[in-house]
Amino acid sequence: ATHAALAISNARLYSRLHQRVHEMSTISGVLRAINSTLDLENVLGQIVDGITEVVGFDRCCVYLLDSRTNEFVAGARKGYRKNDEVKDRVRFGEGVIGLAAKEQIPIFSQESPTQPGSPACAGEFLAAPILVRDQCIGVVVVDNCIRNRPIEPQHVDLLATFVSQAGIAVENARLYEAMEEK
């Protein structure tokens, strides 16, 4: 019985490890594609596609810091319907999105990320900062409102891995854009 229990436990561990390796190799492939372009709109589009399709969230919106106004501006988004309100600008430190940026940590919330007091969905959402060289250059907001599923810890881990690498691609695209303007 002891050997059977160990065999079952090992089989479960192997299955989870195999799943994790598959997830990481898929994310690595998506990130290679994202890093292969310097067009900011294309990079942002690939990021929201990767987060919804590979990481597994229903909806995703990327806010990028506008250094002139010190506000986060909503950019690429996926999974939102036309009547879903998304706040276009969020000041640094304002609401959950601004707080995630200020504290530089992912924040779970039940409050609506778009309109305090009027939830866009009944579920929870996560605001994860995009950090490059210890500076917050943006915030990714994700939720599972369409299928009404909870946010699982393994999805948070995958998102953190994805966002940290995607931040480099965003910064490279922004630097390239600035260089072209000059």
Contacts for 72 with CB less than 8 Å, ≥ 6 apart: 63, 64, 65, 66, 89, 90, 91, 92, 97, 98, 101, 138, 139
Kindly report the CA angle at 158 between 156 and 161, in degrees rounded to 5?
110
Residue type, position 106, single letter: P
Q: Report the C-alpha gap between 35 and 150 in whole angstroms.
A: 30
Which pLDDT value is given to residue 131? 94
Cβ atoms of 132 and 167 within 8 Å: the answer is yes
Give 109-149 pLDDT, tens digit per residue: 876 555 443 345 656 899 999 999 999 999 999 999 888 88
pTM, two decimal places: 0.80
pLDDT digits (tens, 9 = 90+) for 49-96: 988 988 889 999 999 999 899 999 999 999 988 878 788 899 998 989
Helix (H) or strand (E) holding 34: helix 2-35
